Structure 1
């Protein structure tokens, strides 16, 4: 069963998923802390390059199936034009200002 984005419990994660699904680069950048980092399948990636390729250029979309760790960990069906749909896990680090300072994703 899919969790509606508006019902995600962590505000920063909710904004992150909403921005991804709306393909809104400005909203996406606004939820990230300065110097934010990320990894994909355990390897650190260049955040700007990865998000352009995997989210914005390829119309990425997250359907969240489960959240845990106070809303900082998600299981989601992620789809984009490059890879189709896959089950993915996402974990987030949110700083004291409510911005995502790091996210990690990979196949679940």
Structure 2
């Protein structure tokens, strides 16, 4: 059970392959980066998550629940150990996430 409700909802949406729930937990202007480079969120999630069977297995979370170490896998790249950091807006939705290999 992840501490932060928005992060918990995003992980559940990824693992269920639920694109609508995933976008529902994000702010309309949400942004993201992968390995330190800003990416187009829609294109990246289509390619890396929803079009490739993306799945997150949580190894650990920080005390605030907004930083995770994850074994992420998809049909394109296989499994890799990744770090994820989330910014959550006052409305409880994720406004930005950053991911990259550890």
Question: TM-score, normalized by length of structure 1?
Answer: 0.93
Distance 2:46 2:91 in 1: 25
Partner in structure 1 of residue 37 of structure 2? 43
Q: Deviations over 1:29-88 (max 9, x none)?
A: 100001000000000000000000000000000000000040000000000000000000
Does residue 29 of the first structure (1) align with residue 23 of the second (2)? yes
State the 1:25 CA deviation.
0.5
Hey, what's the Cα distance between the residues in 2 that align with 1:49 and 1:34? 15
Gaps of 5+ in 2: none
SS in 2 for 1:28: helix
1:69–1:42 distance in 2 versus 1, CA, 3 Å:
farther
How many residues end up aligned between the 2 structures? 102
Greater helix share, 1 or 2?
1
Q: CA RMSD in A?
A: 0.5
Length-normalised TM-score, structure 2: 0.99
